[in-house]
Amino acid sequence: MFELLGITPQALYSQLLVGLINGSFYALLSLGLAVIFGMLNIINFTHGAQYMLGAFLAWIGLTQLGPWLGSPDFSLNYWAALIVVPLLVGALGIVIERTMLRHLYKLDHLYGLLLTFGIALIIEGLFRQWHGSSGKSYDIPEVLRGAINLGFMYLPKYRAWVIVASLTVCFATWFVIERTKLGSYLRAGTENPRLVQAFGINVPLMITLTYGFGVALAGFAGVLAAPIFTVSPQMGADLIIVVFAVVVIGGMGSILGSIVTGLALGLVEGLTKVFYPEASAVVVFVIMSIVLLVRPAGLFGREK
Amino acid sequence: MKRKLVSLAVAAALTLAPGALVAQQKGGLKLSDGVVKIGILTDMSGLYADLSGAGSITAAKMAIEDFRAQEKGNVFPIELVYGDHQNKGDVASNKAREWFERDKVDMIGDLVTTSTALAVMPIAKQANRITIVSGAASTLITGKNCTDTNVHYVYDTYALANGTGKAVVKQGGDSWFFLTADYAFGHSLEKDTSDVVKANGGKVLGAVRHPFPGTDFSSFLLKAQSSGAKVIGLANAGTDTTNSIKQAAEFGIMPKQSLAGLLMFLTDIHSLGLKTAQNMYLTEGFYWDFNAETRAWSKRYYDQHKRMPTMVQAGVYSSTMHYLKAVKAAGTDEAKAVMAKMKQTPVNDFFAKNARIRDDGRLVHDFYLLQVKKPEESKYPWDYYHVRQVIPAADAVGPAANSECPLMKK
Amino acid sequence: MLTRTQWGFIALIVAGVLAPHLGVYPTFLMKCWCLALFACAFNLLLGYTGLLSFGHAAFIGAAGYIAGYSIKAWGLSPELGILAGTAFAGVLGYLFGSLAIRRAGIYFAMITLALAQMLYFVWLQMKFTGGEDGLQGVPRGKLFGVIDLADTLNLYYFVFAIFIVGFLLIYRTIHSPFGQVLKSIRENEPRAISLGYDVDKYKLLAFVLSAALAGLAGATKTVVFQLASLTDAHWHTSGEVVLMTLLGGLGTVFGPVVGAFVVVGLQNQLADKVGSWVQVIMGAIFVVCVLAFRRGIVGEWMTLFSRKR
């Protein structure tokens, strides 16, 4: 059937697989947004900048840190970065939450959006000033170089790893929030913070940690992205708008929803690239418009 | 009443030749406002900051200092201003207007990216000032959109296509597939290269247009891969190009198919690293390590800027020097007179040998077909290219007969 | 006895008429007036209706392209070209508005942002816009076939007149019964619904009006700079207009005008000297405004003024 359209099944499968890889980034980022939104009721516009920060810190760790510390041989390798960088990005997030976001909870949520937008501009501008915008390259770690021959395509090992790693993190997050006691506090805190506070749970701390965690997810995605995409100050800005659309499509109500929507839209984008590549940049937005017409609350959202 | 007076003054400033205003005698020269003002309008912070940007300003400064030294200090006052156009046509046009109308800038140089060059050129023509484009690529600059106050100094898509395209076809790369940035510059680069490939007996199997700027090229690369073409032509620039090369390496495209970067600069190779970029062919209008003369200048440049010059930055130096000499020879900074001198005198320096500026503004000079070295072949920092061929000036620029520029028909 | 707003208005007109004669560079002023109108149009939505659109770049950008193309390719006179651009932005506002008002608050912001980004890609790929190169060489032409706009001062007063007309229209809207309903929606939407107002209809109308006026600003800007480019359609522009309005004073009549002059002036002064620090500074202003300066320049000034009395 596809042959009739001049498309081989090989081409189709390989594009779908590539779509899935992009989808895993959408899933990781929209998951972070959803977690933050659930607890803080703000949309974190800094998310893209924090993703970029993750990639940059990984690059700095690999290539710059040693010389800075005076021992050129030292470097933070990819695997260490995968742990350390999200912690750093998360820590910075906690600082932002404690010093700035915290003061806005009583106000209209739009101020949270504006504040995080401003912070995003600052972070992006700083990195552009320090490193220019031509981009830095980050080498794929030794173990994951090369490709697996799947018959219909060569799948680079690193891309396969991206899918595995991001899905693992996504579902672990889902499990913690939906299936553990800690998660139940979180969900209760989302529904009724005062009541939870009355049970002796430190809700402000929980909010802080949630923001830190959501942001750490963005940092994690950044480290994952560093070897694939050129590390540059503007890498997060364009991606985050697509992720916003993903979030609108999925509806913010559900953790699982944001993961599934992210992956699905990656696949849809992949399909578009096979059949009508010119539309691949807009397809997510078109879907968003359709969803809004049919189901304004989003696919997984609940109408309040 | 007052309004009328002021509008008269403004009108006078706009319409009369600057030379007619407060003509002053400085060093035996007729200068419009007592000083020759050069403006470098470039990308200070964006995608092209590395290949032009601060480096171009350094180059222009060097040119002014060297000119002063050559003239043993006995020169007219020269002033340098610079600005960041952020690769935006509107910012560039705004800045250029301000420079011409308010600050009395006499010449604007660099003008990286086609959109900014095309925006500034007509404004310069209107104000009767000179533009010297070093950074932008489109053939429109000396084609349909040419002006008589502009010089296109360094390179254009025709020269790049002709150099790289022809060479690659001759090496046996006779079937092509293009990965094209989906905007005017990408399209023109694709078209120019397709023409060259076909003219040399090659085939073009197809093209895929990617959004600009793109981050993920894997799906487009897979299309290129399944086309079975021997060569994948990258009709894009900056980060898009470096990204596509990295990702092509990942998908194991390289050994079976080869990549041709149609617009790449020394700084792109620097940021990619030789390991990824090795063996690629590319065309540039200048390479720092070409001969003793280029090396001597480039080392001086390196001492100031800590990076080797790209062809754009070298072009800014050479063109600024050429301009200043023309001002001296013409005895005025009036655009038409200076332009006439610039076109009369051939450029003869480390950048170009016996190169002349055509009526459409194109500087006709040699190009170099380069191949990126393997990591083990690179002996010292910035040792990146083998010079495979010197493309003679006559082959590197579009034939005058095909020109769409009305100035050429005279 | 004149009210404070009337005094402000007189001051604005006097300043606007005199400014180009006081040595201020006219092209810079024209840019300021265009963006001030843009910010005022935006303020109508955010300041008076409580809707945060993060996609207003779509309207200023689209109108710029339509005006530029109709003047350049179809030979329309500048006033007709500007009208064409404004009308297009209005229609676009109707389409985007109908979608976006289905959700409120943060969702509304994200939807407008996403729709604007979609349009950005459309312009990027359309032939007539010139993509990255922009639509260039738009002739300024003759206003009503008589007044030559190539003359900078003529053009300046034309632009200033457009600003004043747009500004007055917004002012009238705010103080009309329609404007009162908008404010009631901002303050308490459920209440407005229970009072029997078709809230969605009012919101949509406000959105269309705001979009059309943003379009008027964009179309005028194209005539001034003789080009339309992607810059205006980029989300950075959407962010900038939020900043201008916020910095000047949300929901104040003159705030957006002040904000626009400060932001454009800063960018103009700093761009060459500090490079990317401009973006950092803009971001910092955002942060400071949100955290400590939510009334904006005009808002704070008015509070100070009333306290003294």
Chain Cα centroid distance, residue C249: 14
Q: What is the pTM of this model?
A: 0.85
Of all residues in chain A, the percent with pLDDT exceeding 70 is: 96
Which range has the worst mean pLDDT, B12-16, B284-288, C295-299?
B12-16
Set of chain A residues whose Cβ sits within 8 Å of the Cβ of B208 = 277
B20-34, B85-99, C273-287, range with the lowest pLDDT:
B20-34
Q: How confident is the model at residue C37 (pLDDT cuts 50, 70, 90)?
A: very high
Tell me which chain A residues have a C-beta less than 8 angstroms from the C-beta of B213: 234, 238
Residue B368, token pair as written in the block: 């170099």
Question: For residue A148, what pLDDT is reported?
Answer: 85
Interface of A with C (CB under 8 A): 42-43, 100, 103-104, 107-111, 113-115, 117-126, 128-129, 241-242, 244-245, 247-248, 278, 281-282, 284-286, 288-289, 292-293, 296
CA dihedral (C109, C115, C120, C124) in degrees, to 10, reads 160
| CA neighbor of B311 nearest in space, from B349, B262, B265 | B265
Closest residue to A248, CB basis, from C110, C242, C277: C110
Q: What is the ipTM of this complex?
A: 0.88
Angle ∠(C66,C67,C69) on CA atoms, nearest 5:
65
Write the secondary structure of chain C as one string of H (helix), E (strand) and C (coil): CCCHHHHHHHHHHHHHHHHHHHCCCHHHHHHHHHHHHHHHHHHHHHHHHCCCCCCCHHHHHHHHHHHHHHHHHCCCCHHHHHHHHHHHHHHHHHHHHHHHCCCCHHHHHHHHHHHHHHHHHHHHHCCCCCHHHCEECCCCCEECCCEECCCHHHHHHHHHHHHHHHHHHHHHHHCCHHHHHHHHHHHCHHHHHHCCCCHHHHHHHHHHHHHHHHHHHHHHHHHHHCEECHHHHCHHHHHHHHHHHHHHCCCCCCHHHHHHHHHHHHHHHHHHHHCCHHHHHHHHHHHHHHHHCCCHHHHHHHHHHHHHC
Q: Which of B14-18, B88-92, C173-177 is the most confident on average?
A: C173-177
Q: Do B90 and C153 touch (CB under 8 A)?
A: no
Average pLDDT over residues B28-45: 84
| CB C170, CB C179: distance < 8 Å | no
> Would A302 be classed as within a structural domain?
no
Which residue from A83, A94, A49, A96 is spatially nearest to A220, judged by alpha carbons?
A83
Q: Is B239 in Cβ contact with A232 (below 8 Å)?
A: yes
What are the residue ranges of CATH 3.40.50.2300 in chain B? Answer: 25-155+291-366, 158-284
Q: How far apart are CA B281 and CA B261, in angstroms?
A: 7
Which residues in chain B touch residue C27, judged by CB atoms under 8 angstroms apart? 94, 97-98, 101
Query: Could you tell me the pLDDT band of residue A134, with boundaries at 50, 70 and 90?
Result: low
pLDDT of residue B13: 42
Q: Name the residue facing C272 among B7, B82, B119 (closest C-beta).
A: B82
Query: In CATH, what is the architecture of B158-284?
Result: 3-Layer(aba) Sandwich (3.40)
Buried b or exposed e, range A107-117, using 16+ CB within 10 angstroms: eebbbbbbbbb
Share of chain C above pLDDT 90, in %: 57
Other C-beta atoms lying within 10 Å of the C-beta of residue B309: 30
Q: What pLDDT score was predicted for residue B39?
A: 96
User: Chain B: which residues have CB within 8 Å of chain C?
Assistant: 2-3, 6-7, 10-11, 14, 44-45, 81-84, 86, 88-91, 93-94, 97-98, 101-102, 113-115, 118-119, 122, 138, 182-185, 211-212
Strand pairing category for B385-391 and C135-136: unpaired
Among B249, B250, B276, which residue's Cα sits nearest to residue A156? B250
Beta bridge partners of residue B282, listed in sequence order: B370
Q: Among residues C144, C172, C140, which one has the least CA distance to residue C30?
A: C140
Using CB atoms and an 8 Å cut-off, which of residues 203-242 of chain A contact chain B? 228-230, 232, 234-235, 238-239
Nearest to C227 among B7, B14, B93 (CB): B93
pLDDT band at A89 (very low <50, low <70, confident <90, very high): very high
CA–CA separation, A83 and B124 (whole Å): 55
Pair of tokens at residue C269? 């002064």
* Rounded Cα–Cα distance for residues B61 and B39 (Å): 11
User: What local confidence, expressed as pLDDT, does residue A30 receive?
Assistant: 94
SS3 category, B286: coil
Q: Is C285 on the interface with A (CB under 8 A)?
A: yes
Count the neighbouring beta carbons within 10 Å of the beta carbon of residue C77. Answer: 16
What pLDDT, on a 0 to 100 scale, did the predictor assign at position B18? 42
Nearest to C277 among A107, A125, A244 (CB): A125
Q: In angstroms, what separates the C-alpha of A133 from chain B's closest C-alpha? A: 5
Which two three-digit tokens encode residue B208? 């895929």
Q: Does A113 touch chain B (CB under 8 A)?
A: no
Judged against a pLDDT cut of 80, whether residue B315 lies above it is answered with yes
Contact C124 B212 (CB under 8 A): yes
The phi, psi pair for A197, rounded to 5°, reads -60, -40
- Cβ distance C284 to A115 less than 8 Å, yes or no, reads no
Please check the confidence at residue B131 and state whether its pLDDT lies above 50.
yes
B177-181, B320-324, C13-17, range with greatest mean pLDDT: B320-324
Residue A170 located in a structural domain: yes
pLDDT at B2 over 70: no
C160-166, Cβ contacts within 8 angstroms, sequence gap of 24 or more: C160/C16, C160/C17, C160/C33, C162/C33, C162/C37, C162/C82, C162/C216, C162/C220, C163/C16, C163/C33, C163/C34, C163/C36, C163/C37, C164/C13, C164/C16, C166/C37, C166/C40, C166/C41, C166/C213, C166/C216, C166/C217
Which chain A positions have a beta carbon within 8 Å of B276's beta carbon?
A: 137
HSE (CB half, 13 Å, CA atoms) of C21?
15
At A88 the pLDDT is 96
Q: Is B370 strand, coil or helix?
A: strand
Q: Model confidence over A261-287: pLDDT tens digits?
A: 999 999 999 888 888 877 888 899 999
- In the predicted model, what is the mean pLDDT of residues C133-153? 84
Contact between C106 and A124 using a beta-carbon 8 Å cutoff: no
Least confident stretch, A82-91, B196-205, B310-319, C145-154? C145-154
- What's the rounded mean pLDDT across residues C199-213? 95
Contact partners for chain C, using 3 or more CB pairs closer than 8 A, are A, B
- Does the CA dihedral C250-C252-C255-C260 come out positive or negative? positive
Angle, alpha carbons A151-A152-A157 (nearest 5°): 75
Measured CA distances, C54 to A241, C86, C116 (Å): 11, 19, 8
Query: Cis before residue C139, ω within 30 degrees of 0?
Result: no
Is A75 domain-assigned?
Answer: yes
Residue A304 lies in a domain: no
Instruction: Kindly state the helix (H) or strand (E) to which residue B364 belongs, with its residue range.
Output: strand B363-364
Average pLDDT, chain B: 87
Across the interface, whether the CB atoms of C27 and B94 are under 8 A apart is answered: yes
**Comparison of pLDDT for B171 and C254, the residue scoring more:** C254
CA-based nearest residue to B176, from B278, B263, B262, B264: B262
Answer whether C114 sits within 8 Å of A292, measured CB to CB: no
pLDDT at residue B12 is higher than 70: no
Q: pLDDT for B153-173, tens place per residue?
A: 999 999 999 889 988 898 889
Give the nearest partner residue to A282 out of C54, C118, C280, using CB atoms: C118
Contact A238 B49 (CB under 8 A): no
Interchain contact, C114 vs A241, CB within 8 Å: yes
**Residues of chain C numbered 169-228 and touching chain A (CB < 8 Å):** none
Contact B112, B48 (CB under 8 A): yes
Interface membership of C273 toward B (CB under 8 Å): no
User: Cβ A122–C114 below 8 Å, yes or no?
Assistant: no
Q: Which has more confidence, B6 or C181?
A: C181
Place of tokens 């994200």: C110
pLDDT class of B38 with cuts at 50, 70, 90: very high
What is the DSSP pairing of strand B367-372 with strand B281-284?
Answer: antiparallel
Question: Residues, chain A, total?
Answer: 304
Query: Residue A174's domain spans which residues?
Result: 2-294
For residue C166, the distance in angstroms to the closest alpha carbon of chain B comes to 23
CB contact under 8 A, A129 and B276: no
Task: Tell me the β-bridge partners of B209.
Answer: B180
Tell me the C-alpha distance between B26 and B267, whole Å. 41
Residues A273, B252: C-beta atoms closer than 8 Å: no
Q: Please give, rounded to a whole number of angstroms, the shortest distance from the CA of A183 to a CA of chain B.
A: 35
Q: Residue A3 pLDDT more than 70?
A: no
Whole-number pLDDT of residue B28: 61
> Is B48:B87 a contact under the CB 8 Å cutoff?
yes
| Gap from B408 CA to chain A (nearest CA, Å) | 37
Distance from the Cα of B312 to chain C's closest Cα (Å) equals 19
Alpha helices in B264-386 (DSSP H): 266-272, 274-277, 292-305, 311-330, 335-344
Q: What torsion do the CA atoms of B97, B103, B106, B107 make, to the nearest 10 degrees?
A: -60
pLDDT tens track for B365-387: 999 999 999 999 999 999 999 99
A111 contact B CB<8A: no
Cα distances (Å, whole numbers) of residue B299 to A260, B292, B339 = 56, 10, 31
Is C232 in the B-facing interface, judged by CB distances under 8 Å? yes
Contact between B85 and B42 (Cβ < 8 Å): yes
B53-70 vs B311-330: helix crossing angle, rounded to 10: 40
Model confidence pLDDT, tens digit, residues A246-262: 988 988 767 888 999 99
The shortest CB-CB distance from B89 to any of C229, C272, C276 is to C229
The reply to whether C133 touches chain B by the CB within 8 Å rule is yes
Number of helices and strands in chain A (H, E): 12, 2
Instruction: Give CA A20 to chain center in angstroms.
Output: 14
C75-97 per-position pLDDT tens digit: 899 999 999 999 999 999 999 99
Domain holding A278: CATH number? 1.10.3470
Distance in angstroms (rounded) separating the CA atoms of residues B82 and B77 = 17
DSSP lists the bridge partners of residue B355 as: B347
Counting as contact any 3 or more CB pairs under 8 A, the partners of A are B, C
**What pLDDT score was predicted for residue A170?**
95
Chain B residues with at least one Cβ partner in A under 8 Å? 45-51, 53, 182, 208-211, 213, 215-216, 218-220, 222-223, 226, 238-239, 242-243, 246-247, 250-252, 267-268, 271-273, 276
Count of A-C CB contacts under 8 Å: 119
Question: By C-alpha distance, which of B216, C266, C267, C280 is closest to A127?
Answer: C280
- Does residue B6 surpass a pLDDT of 80? no
The partner residue sitting opposite B273, judged by closest CB among A137, A159, A280, is: A137
Neighbours of B153 (CB within 10 A): 32
* Cβ–Cβ contact C267 with B under 8 A: no
Find residue C8's DSSP bridge partners: none
CA distance readout (Å), A178 to A172, A183, A188, B52: 10, 6, 11, 53
pLDDT, residue A74, reads 82
Residues 10..39 of A with a Cβ closer than 8 Å to B: which?
10-11, 14-15, 18-19, 21-22
What does B219-270 look like in DSSP terms, one character per residue?
A: HHHHHHHHHT-SEEEEE--THHHHHHHHHHHHTT-TTTSEEEESS--HHHHH
Q: What is d(CA B324, CA B385) in angstroms, rounded to the nearest whole number? A: 32
Query: What is the overall mean pLDDT for chain A?
Result: 87
pLDDT of residue B27: 53
Per-window interface: A 132-191 vs B, CB < 8 A: 132-137, 140, 146-147, 153-154, 156, 158-159
pLDDT for B358: 92
Nearest to B94 among C31, C137, C272 (CB): C31
With respect to CATH, is domain B25-155+291-366 assigned 3.40.50.2300? yes
Mean pLDDT across B239-253: 84
Residue B4: pLDDT band with limits 50, 70, 90: very low
Do the Cβ atoms of B161 and B235 come closer than 8 Å?
no
- Put simply, the answer to whether C279 touches A278 (Cβ < 8 Å) is no
The reported pLDDT for the residue numbered B24 is 46
Q: Measured over all CA atoms, what is the biggest interatomic distance in chain C, rounded to whole angstroms?
A: 59
